[in-house]
């Protein structure tokens, strides 16, 4: 999933790592070899 907005929160479904977007771009967040899931 592409990062589009600052303030979005993402979680890794493998290790549970969570991140908050501080600078938006068009890349994807990857952790443990898998795309991170957007937390609504």
Residues 29-37: contacts with CB within 8 Å, 24+ apart? 29/1, 29/3, 35/1, 36/1, 36/10, 36/11, 36/12, 37/1, 37/10, 37/11, 37/12, 37/13
Task: Collapse the DSSP code of 40 into the 3-class scheme (helix H, G, I; strand E, B; otherwise coil) and give the result.
Answer: coil
What local confidence, expressed as pLDDT, does residue 38 receive? 94
| Contact by Cβ (8 Å): 2, 27 | yes
Q: pLDDT for 1-40, tens place per residue?
A: 688 899 999 999 999 999 999 998 888 999 999 999 999 8
CATH number at residue 28: 2.20.28
Does residue 35 fall inside a structural domain? Answer: yes
Residue 29 belongs to what domain range?
9-39
Overall domain count for the chain: 1
């Amino acid at each position: 999933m592409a990062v589009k907005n600052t303030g979005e929160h993402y979680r890794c479904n493998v290790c549970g790592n969570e991140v908050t977007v501080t600078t938006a771009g068009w890349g994807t967040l990857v952790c443990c070899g898998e795309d991170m899931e957007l937390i609504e």
